[in-house]
Amino acid sequence: MSPMPPFHLAFPVHDLAAARAFYGGLLGCSEGRSSPEWIDFDFYGHQIVAHLAPEECGHKATSAVDSHNVPVRHFGAVLSMDQWHALADKLRAAGTQFVIEPYIRFKGEVGEQATMFFLDPSGNAIEFKAFKDMASLFAK
C-alpha cells in the first residue's frame, strides 16, 4: 500500500495574525510559505492555506448528527484516541468555546468515535475525531 497523499485545503480568514496565533500557536501547526494575502500551515501532514478573504468567513448551515447540530462546512483531522484526548484537554485549558463539546458519538455502534467541534477566529468550523477502532472509519 502506498502512503496516503496529503490533501490541500484553502479557506478564508478575516485576519492573518489571528490565523497564525490559532493554527500555529494553539493547534501547533508549523508554518510554511506565506505572503501578505495567505499562510500555508502543516495540518497533521496536510497543507491547509489561510487566505485573507473576510467576506467569505463563517459558517451558516447545520445538519443533525447524533442529536447535535453539526456545522455543514467544516474540516479537521482524525487523530489517535490519545492525541484526541490530549488536544481536548489543551483546548479546554485554553478556554476554547466548543460548538459541540468533546464526547463519544455513536456509542456502542459501528463507527463509534470521539468528536469535538469548535470555531477558529474567523468562524471556520473545525472537527477533530478519533475512532475506537480505526478500521471502522468507513464502516457502514
Identify the three-state secondary structure at position 71.
strand
Class of domain 62-136: alpha beta
The predicted structure's pLDDT at residue 1: 55
pLDDT at residue 30 greater than cutoff 60: yes
pLDDT at residue 44 greater than cutoff 60: yes
Residue of 33 and 62 predicted with greater confidence: 33
The per-residue pLDDT for range 49-82, each reduced to its tens digit, is 999 999 998 878 888 887 788 888 999 999 999 9
Question: Considering the domain 8-54, what is its CATH architecture?
Answer: Roll (3.10)
The predicted structure's pLDDT at residue 139: 78
The per-residue pLDDT for range 90-136, each reduced to its tens digit, is 999 999 999 999 999 888 888 889 999 999 999 999 999 999 888 77
The domains of the chain are located at 8-54, 62-136
The predicted structure's pLDDT at residue 117: 96
The predicted structure's pLDDT at residue 2: 65
Task: Note whether 8-54 and 62-136 share their fold.
Answer: yes
The predicted structure's pLDDT at residue 132: 80
The strand ranges marked E within the chain are: 8-13, 30-34, 38-43, 46-52, 62-65, 68-71, 74-79, 98-105, 113-119, 125-131
DSSP-assigned letter for residue 108: T
Q: Tell me the average pLDDT across 21-50.
A: 97
Q: Which three cell numbers stand for residue 109?
A: 455502534
**Long-range contacts of residues 102-110, Cβ cutoff 8 Å, at least 24 apart:** 105/65, 105/66, 105/68, 105/129, 106/66, 110/136, 110/139, 110/140
